[in-house]
Structure 1
Amino acid sequence: MTVLTRLWLRIHQPRVISVLYFLIYLCLASGGLLALLDPPASLAGQIGTAAMSTLSALLTFGGIVGAFAALPGIWWLERTAVLSIGLASALYAIIIFTLHATTPGNRLLQLSFVATVALMQIVRWHRIRVRPYDPDRVPPTV
């Protein structure tokens, strides 16, 4: 058995979903870190550097924790990542909507992508709120 095969078999089932979420978390962590290092001037100028730093820190933290938890399937830790990213995306969506309503220009495309990230975090929360993919798990009755 090759090293790659052994590594692949150590990834939590379903492996494709775990790998895709790992990549999603890496993208979010990268975006958050880059925004921490060099905040977008158009946004930071509107909401302030403290708010931009908070949003970026939530995204970076969630992305790092999620990437760490996704491959081995550490569901209880991934919940922290989902909450952090969900909060960051909800705050960002509110900021975008406010800017759309109060400044010239159309920000609805940007808002739709951010809202999609927020909705996907709700989907992920639902999948991991209890031990996911466990064949011995008793399904919730509610």
Structure 2
Amino acid sequence: MSKPRAPLGLVSRVWAFIEEPKSVTLVQAVGVYTTAIIFGALSFLHPPRTTSVILGDFLVTSISSLMIFAGAVGVITSITGWWWIERPLAVGFLFVAGCLYLYSVVEAQVLSDGNRWLQIGFIVIALGGLAARWLRIRKANYDPVT
């Protein structure tokens, strides 16, 4: 007769709940989506002046709101493996927000003094990361391996 196993602790249960591959899931949930929530909220509370002048207050508020919403949905859906929800509502909305912000930075580069190439480069890198995530989960309902 085998010995009864001790119940899993809270940390072990949470760790077991996180979708495989856990390293990718944690980078996506904590590194990308939590960052979107934090910086979306900061931008909502204190809109960047240059972007507000170029896009207007409504679009800056919209970008910030998209970031907060997409980040919140993304944390939940990436950890649980609900990729069919993550694709449009997290990756898609963050991609749209990033494209709008990229437009404002490119316009500022073209129409005003100063150099914004570093910003443009990092925005394009971030959009590439989102595109890679979308490609990784594009056909998946629950498991990107299938």
Q: TM-score, normalised on structure 1? A: 0.89
After TM superposition, list the pairs within 5 Å mapping 1:84-123 onto structure 2.
84-123=93-132
> In the alignment, residue 93 of structure 1 is paired with which amino acid?
L
Where do 4+ consecutive residues of structure 1 move more than 3 Å?
none
Instruction: Give structure 2 stretches of 5+ with no counterpart.
Output: 1-7
Q: State, as a whole percentage, how many aligned pairs show the same letter.
A: 28
> In the alignment, residue 95 of structure 1 is paired with which amino acid?
S
Determine if the alignment matches structure 1 residue 39 to structure 2 residue 47: yes
| 1:74-100 deviation line (CA, Å, top 9, x unaligned) | 111111210000011111111111110
Determine if the alignment matches structure 1 residue 20 to structure 2 residue 20: no
Instruction: Give structure 1 stretches of 5+ with no counterpart.
Output: 138-142
Q: How well do the aligned residues superpose, as a CA RMSD in angstroms?
A: 1.3
Q: Which of 40, 63, 75 is equivalent to 1:67?
A: 75
> In the alignment, residue 43 of structure 1 is paired with which amino acid?
T
CA deviation after TM superposition for structure 1 residue 10, in Å = 1.1
Which has more radius of gyration?
2
| 1:95-139 deviation line (CA, Å, top 9, x unaligned) | 1111101000000101111111111111011111122434xx3xx
Q: TM-score, normalised on structure 2? A: 0.86
1:77 is matched with 85
